[in-house]
Amino acid sequence: MLKMRQKSNFYLFLLIIFTVIISGFQSKETEIENEINYESQKFRDLLITAFQNYNDSIDIKKISEIAFNSMLQSLDPNSQYLSSQSYKNFKETYSGKYDGVGITIYSINDTITIIAVTSGGPADSAGIMPGDKILFLNGENVIRANQNSVAEKINGEVGTTLSLIIKRGSSLNEFVLTRQNLKTLSIVSKFIIPETSTAFIKSIRFTANCYNEFIEALEELSKKGMKSLIVDLRGNQGGYLEQVVKIISELVPEGKKITYTTSKNSDYKLEYISKGNKKFEKLPIIVMIDEQSASASEIFAGAIQDLDRGLVIGSQSFGKGTVQKYFEFKDGSAFSLTVASYYTPSGRSIQKKLSKENITLDPVANLGLDKQTIQKLESIIRNKNLGSQLPIYKSEKGRSMLGGGGIYPDYFIKDDTTTALTLVMKSKGIFLEYSYLYLSKLKDEIKKKFKKNIQHFINDFQVDDGMLEEISQLTKSKNIWNEQMYQQDKEYIRQFIKSTIAYTLWGDSGFYNIHYVLDKPIQLAINLIPEAEKFLN
């Protein structure tokens, strides 16, 4: 009897403890709920009081949006509020399709200029061409208008119309276009690099359809003799993680961890494992990244590096390693909230943490990294003040890799090492402007000769000294010039003119088919293919 009573008292004690704990949780939840309700009421009272008493008119929606975004940004830079139009544009960017007329614009000399036209889209069907200048959009004067605001007005609902007054040469023409649903591409260029068996793929975003694009590209390039692969993710700011995981599964063996997440909410703790596909598992790979490669691009590069599947070259990536979940409102607006963090297979955090502390390399770096790499990393450390100590991680085969945020490449190399003159000519759109001026006189002749075969253009078209003189005079007319820099970059400028003309005729595909010769990271990648092959042994 005594033992039974003691046992009963013990269970009663446990029940009391459990009840106290549950009551504590409920009490805490009620306290937080009351606090939220109180603060929400304060914000409502603030809006009403301001509306009734402020000395001027008030846009309630606008100041509410500012308040929402300020609150989310106080949590971290990746949590943000999006208006209904901004959220729609965001979804379209990565959905693989968008509603518009099929034009890409750029501001040249304060004039909105069409720099690319989607083949088969409404603008293309109407006869709009790269180089056309938009003066009026739906009756509104857009000269000196903000490029981004004009771009937002060009897109709209399928079936609605868009009126454009366009200047071509000395003539003005009106085009009334009906918006259609058009594709957004992930891969903008793919080809076999001449005199090699190395394929080049340039991806600018990871859309909802990018896996199919990659598979089609790999199959096509395989038929053309691909024996190794360079994947250019410079400027690629991410997109659909699930699509990227499927792509990586084509490249790494089955059962390999690709990435995983950590979170205080168990719903967001995930692990992504390769399903494997033996066809491309033995393909030597080099991945190119830069400071704008972010999110899913970093997961791609990190997995290839950690699993010793290939090399990563370029510069340190952006360092966006957090998972954002989007919560939608009834009016079409939404907000993103950081719910988890991404890690590479070896456990490296992709998220870059900014700090003003002095930073040092983990001493073990001296054991696993060469002197040149250590010097480069120490230079980055001094310039960026990234934290207190950068840890060293090990790849699957024991290579030393630097952690601490972003992906550090195996080989560092800058994208562009030209002088300030060439950089300014690019940023001011002078190469594009010259391309349009040149083609306005000879486009029919060039199209007739080269349009059906870009390889003929690559082999036969030459930028002569007369063309160099023309672009020099155009640049000087804008009060931009430095003779010493011009002489230093002269041959680069000659080749870049050809690349830009190819872009005007064939888009990104034409550009990279020419520009790869000037692109130092691509040239380094070609030379490093034998090193990438060693990972397969």
The Cβ of residue 506 has, within 10 Å, a number of other Cβ atoms equal to 20
Instruction: Return the HEC string of 274-291.
Output: CCCCHHHCCCCEEEEECC
CB 214 within 8 Å of CB 201: yes
Higher pLDDT: 353 or 485? It is 485
Q: Which residues pair with 324 in a beta bridge?
A: 338
Mean pLDDT, residues 158-165 taken together: 96
Residue 446 in tokens? 């060039």
Mean pLDDT, residues 250-260 taken together: 96
| Ramachandran class of 101: left when φ > 0, alpha when ψ lies in -120 to 50, beta otherwise | alpha
What's the confidence (pLDDT) of residue 414? 84
Q: Across 19-96, where does the E strand assignment appear?
A: 80-82
Main-chain phi, psi angles of 162, to 5 degrees: -135, 125
Mean pLDDT, residues 367-396 taken together: 66
What's the confidence (pLDDT) of residue 359? 52
Does the predicted model carry a pTM greater than 0.75?
Answer: yes
pLDDT in tens, 416-446: 779 999 999 999 999 999 999 999 888 788 8
What's the confidence (pLDDT) of residue 156? 87
Mean pLDDT, residues 150-157 taken together: 90
What's the confidence (pLDDT) of residue 386? 47
Amino acid at the residue 90: F
What's the confidence (pLDDT) of residue 17? 54
pLDDT in tens, 260-310: 999 999 999 999 999 987 789 999 999 999 999 999 999 999 999 999 999
Q: What are the structural domains of the chain?
A: 40-74 (no CATH), 97-183 (2.30.42.10), 187-416 (3.90.226.10), 420-518 (no CATH)
Question: Closest Cα partner for 243 from 99, 343, 95, 344?
Answer: 95
What's the confidence (pLDDT) of residue 50? 92
Q: How confident is the model at residue 449 (pLDDT cuts 50, 70, 90)?
A: confident
Residue 95 in tokens? 């959905």
Calculate what percentage of the chain has a pLDDT beyond 90: 72
What is the SS3 assignment for 505? helix
Report d(CA 406, CA 393) in Å as an integer: 13
Q: Can you tell me which residue has the tokens 């009663």?
A: 12
Report d(CA 451, CA 4) in Å as an integer: 94
Q: How confident is the model at residue 383 (pLDDT cuts 50, 70, 90)?
A: low
Least confident of 122-131, 139-148, 344-353, 443-452: 443-452
CB 516 within 8 Å of CB 273: no
Q: Can you tell me which residue has the tokens 């931009």?
A: 480
